[in-house]
Amino acid sequence: MKTPITELFGIEVPIVLSGMSWISVPSMVAAVSNAGGLGILATGPLNASETRKAVREVRSLTDKPFGANATLMFPGAHENAKVLLEEQVPVINFSLGKGDWLAKAAHEYGGKVVATVVNERHARSAEEQGADALIATGHEAAAHGGDATSLVLIPALVDAVSIPIIAAGGFIDGRGLMAALSLGAGGVAMGTAFMSTKESQLHDTYKKLSLEKTIEDTIYGPYFDGLGCRSMKTPAALRAYRKGLFGWPNFLAAFVNSRDIARSLGLPFSKLLVGALASGWNNAKMMAYLANAFKMIRSATEEGDTRKGVLPTGQCVGLLHEIPTVAQLIDRVVSEASEIPARLARTVE
């Protein structure tokens, strides 16, 4: 398969692994890249030293192109991004922040930069900042999809910018890949599909739950991590997504969880706290939500905790029917997609 995305990244198939915290680890990234796609390392839970080690581990497992992400509003993200530049990671995926400095530095060593966006305004801005491609995240996606669904977001962004689009949100099989290509995208990013593969670090409890859920078994709202976020619908998620008093997060829990985050990222807690408070009330409130969500997501992903854990999951979880290997998943998606043009040709005769 040859598309603008395969040409841009030097990969064999237009399929990208979404950078999912605690799931998109080096072994998973390498598995996707070795199968012909583009693996993206999640650096959100890592400090700078861990990020450098993870990048080098990916390189020890594959000689194929790979990427790594940086969610720029997260604590420690700028330090991680600098490590990605120092290590000359082939593809850097940034979101929730201004990435012009990233693009400039990456382009100096021949790297590519991809911005994750959810609307036209952010897409145009990312292109102006030097992004080489965009991941367009529709409402169906796990975690932070925007207000528009993929069906309308993708063609809107294709018309709005001149750089390639990677469609994210609702893509899990060959039908989805061909739909994305038909809408003008150059490929797809998949999270929920890869999350439920044999190589995935997701706890088996949630892999099994994923096979039981329908397309209606997700929940979306702003009161989990302070952003519009979609997760698997469970009793724990229903509690976590409720609007608290005045729409405020549990600040006491956030204080405790923030200390744990600061410790894991190797950041002084006082610096983290002062930075959050200095960023303004709305940002401070969102950071408190994020601190609490961070713990719940980790509890689900690593520990399989169904009482307190919450797992970001896309609506396409209802289309999961098995737990394949990464290579089997990619081969199936490509095989299904390759059969569709002939079938469509017979339909329109």
For residues 17 and 24, is the Cβ–Cβ distance under 8 A?
yes
Domain range list for the chain? 4-204+320-343, 214-303
Q: Summarize the confidence of residues 130-138 as an average pLDDT.
A: 98
The C-alpha atoms of residue 201 and residue 283 are separated, in whole angstroms, by 31
pLDDT at 332: 98
pLDDT at 273: 60
* Confidence check: pLDDT of 247 > 80: no
pLDDT band at 349, cuts 50/70/90? Answer: low
Enter the tokens of residue 210.
């994923």
pLDDT band at 262, cuts 50/70/90? Answer: low
Which tens digits make up the pLDDT trace of 322-346? 999 999 999 999 999 999 988 888 8
Enter the tokens of residue 111.
């790297």
pLDDT > 70: what percent of the chain? 91
pLDDT at 342: 87
Handedness of CA 194, 195, 198, 201 (dihedral sign): positive
The mean of the pLDDT values for the chain is: 92
Q: Summarize the confidence of residues 152-181 as an average pLDDT.
A: 98
- List, in order, residues 6 or more apart from 159 with CB less than 8 Å away: 184
Q: Summarize the confidence of residues 238-243 as an average pLDDT.
A: 92
3-state secondary structure of 261: helix
Helix (H) or strand (E) holding 167: strand 165-168
Which tens digits make up the pLDDT trace of 3-32? 999 999 999 999 999 999 999 999 999 999
Q: Summarize the confidence of residues 250-266 as an average pLDDT.
A: 70
Residues paired with residue 166 on neighbouring β-strands, in sequence order: 135, 187
pLDDT at 230: 97
Give the range among 68-77, 84-93, 101-110, 183-192 with minimum mean pLDDT. Answer: 68-77
The C-alpha atoms of residue 268 and residue 287 are separated, in whole angstroms, by 16
Mode of pairing for the β-strands spanning 133-137 and 165-168: parallel
* Cα 345-318-235 angle, rounded to 5 deg: 165
pLDDT at 271: 60
* Confidence check: pLDDT of 310 > 70: yes
* Confidence check: pLDDT of 244 > 80: no
User: Cα torsion for 315, 321, 325, 329, to the nearest 10°?
Assistant: -60
- The rounded radius of gyration (Å) of the Cα atoms in the chain is 19
**Contacts for 218-223 with beta carbons within 8 Å, 24 or more apart?**
218/313, 218/314, 218/315, 218/317, 220/139, 220/145, 223/247, 223/249, 223/289
Q: Summarize the confidence of residues 212-221 as an average pLDDT.
A: 97
Instruction: Quickly tell me which residue has 């949100």 as its tokens.
Output: 169
The C-alpha atoms of residue 92 and residue 114 are separated, in whole angstroms, by 6
Instruction: Quickly tell me which residue has 């590519």 as its tokens.
Output: 112
The C-alpha atoms of residue 107 and residue 132 are separated, in whole angstroms, by 10
Higher-pLDDT residue of 273 and 171 is: 171
CATH class in words for 4-204+320-343: alpha beta
Q: Summarize the confidence of residues 299-321 as an average pLDDT.
A: 96
For residues 79 and 116, is the Cβ–Cβ distance under 8 A?
no
